[in-house]
Structure 1
Amino acid sequence: MATKQNGRIVESATEARQAEPGPSVLALLTMSTGLAVLLLAVVWFVFFRT
């Protein structure tokens, strides 16, 4: 549990890493996955379509 020492909040390393990923992380993952799928589709249509 976070404690106060000399007017500062002190946390352990594990406590400091406990943040939850916000919606921006979800948006980044969704956009990057969609872009990768789109890029692979373009490569497939250009090089492997018969």
Structure 2
Amino acid sequence: MEQDHETLGTNKARAGETPHIVRYVLLFSVTLVVVIFSALVFFWSR
């Protein structure tokens, strides 16, 4: 059985916009983890 299909490019196949919010969430969360771990090391090493 052969089915007809349409081949789409990557931009059309995604069919949505990417606001790049993931980049900022990742940056914020990694920065927050580094600050928290630095504070823990600072207070536990006293």
TM over 0.5: yes
Total equivalences in the alignment: 35
Root mean square deviation of aligned Cα: 2.4
The CA distance in 1 between the partners of 2:40 and 2:17, in whole Å, is 36
TM-score (normalizing by structure 1): 0.53
2:38 to 13, 16, 41: 41
Q: Secondary structure at the match of 1:22?
A: coil
More strand per residue: 1
Q: Distance in 2 between matches of 1:43 and 1:37?
A: 10
**Identical positions, percent:** 23
Give the ranges of 4+ consecutive aligned residues of structure 1 lying more than 4 Å apart after TM superposition: 18-21
| Structure 2 unpaired stretches of 5+ | 1-6
Q: 1:21 to 1:47 in 2, by over 3 A?
A: farther
User: What are structure 1's unaligned runs of at least 5 residues?
Assistant: 3-14
Q: TM-score when scaled to structure 2?
A: 0.57
CA distance in 2, matches of 1:35, 1:44: 14
Flag the structure with more relative contact order, 1 or 2, with Cα contacts below 8 A and sequence separation at least 6: 1
